[in-house]
Chain A
Amino acid sequence: MTATAEVSTGSRGNQPPVPDGAITVTLKIRRFNSEFDDEPRWDSFEIPALPSDRVLNLLHYVKWYIDGTLTFRRSCAHGICGSDAMRINGVNRLACKVLLKDLLAGGDKPTTITIEPIKGLPVHKDLLVDMEPFFEAFKAVKPYLITYGNEPTRERVQSIADRERFDDTTKCILCAACTTSCPVYWTEGSYFGPAAIVNAHRFIFDSRDEGAEERLDILNDIDGVWRCRTTFNCTDACPRGIQVTKAIQEVKRALLFKRV
């Protein structure tokens, strides 16, 4: 197929030659364009791909060579920036961290991969969602160092054990995969959500920080940690392998026993 004067064509012109060992997979993408669509729709694309390709490569193929209007976020493409969280075959994943070979249907059956925007946040276009409600919850837990009294003249020293205490929750890249996998968040967006609690945990259990009381007060609210139903969707969704549900439980325990 050559890129002729069709309405929807890729942004990079002609399709490249199909590499050896490529298989054809169907990419079923949830599309929405507020200018033309009243309701979201499904678009399917048959594309050649290698088992070693990431899902992000498949999306690039669609955007570059088939339909340039496909919209999604991505930046580093290596699981660091947290831009391309999406629902892949019904679970929240980073498109740049999922390999096609892990999604292949067994035997000779054709492979279909469904891709949707992350749930619970307003969709702007296709896979692009409004992240602002997510970041508002993040900001509400004061995710920065709070100290009182005089500034020390040297750096704030911390033991290895004290650093270890909150090591897991420092890994968050704010991709929103956990928060938008939470069933409570889907129906009630006022819940702070796992990501905000993880980032509160990162400072609550930091020995250098003195704002634990304030953050615990915020998370003790009706929309705070007690909303968590321990479904573990967040732990499953986290691309950084953070034990999110465990972190939420640790915040609950800190509130319960008034001890950090």
Chain B
Amino acid sequence: MSELTLARPRTPRRPAARRNNFELYSWLFMRISGVALVVLVLGHLFIMNILDGGVHRINFGFVAGRWASPFWQFWDLAMLWLAQIHGGNGLRTVINDYARKDATRFWLKVLLYCSMVLIIALGTYVIFTFDPNITD
């Protein structure tokens, strides 16, 4: 850089707009969703396995009763989405760290993303379309 370049002094050569923050946000998401999942999953385990009679009282009616409330629908939905994306992102970094060939990396990630989309879609579908008056 010559000494006469004074057009924009103290301006970084690379504008900040070019910054790709994906890895930053994925790292941040892991921390936040991790904390949320501790509450959600431990709460879930407590209700399902310990509170009044625990696992023995769980039947169709129990699940239907819980999902009648939007609160528990949201709880389960949040748990499903956060656990899937948190776990999926964790596996993505594991694949990035350990896959040695680009082809292996690509196909493992395709498999991972497909399974994530499938489970999230299926779980969301069940939570929202659950019919307590089902008859067969």
Chain A residues packing against B (C-beta within 8 Å): 148-151, 184, 187-188, 210-211, 213-214, 217, 220-222, 224, 226-227, 229, 252, 255-256
Contact = CB atoms under 8 A, between A and B. Distances in A.
Contacts of B27: 226, 252
A129 B98 CA distance: 22
Contacts of A252: 27
Interface residues of B, number: 24
B104 interface: no
Interface of B: 1, 3, 6, 9-14, 16, 18-24, 26-28, 96-98, 100
Given A220-B19, A226-B26, A214 B96 contact: no
A214 B23 contact: no
A214 B16 CA distance: 8
28 contacts: A148-B1, A149-B6, A149-B9, A149-B10, A150-B3, A150-B6, A150-B9, A187-B97, A187-B98, A188-B96, A188-B97, A213-B12, A213-B16, A217-B19, A220-B19, A220-B21, A220-B24, A221-B23, A224-B23, A226-B24, A226-B26, A226-B27, A227-B96, A227-B97, A252-B27, A255-B24, A256-B24, A256-B28
B96 A222 contact: yes
A46 B36 CA distance: 58
Given A214-B14, A255-B24, A256-B24, 6 more contacts: A148-B1, A188-B96, A211-B12, A222-B22, A222-B23, A252-B27
A193 B97 CA distance: 13
Contact of A210 (B10, B19, B96): B10
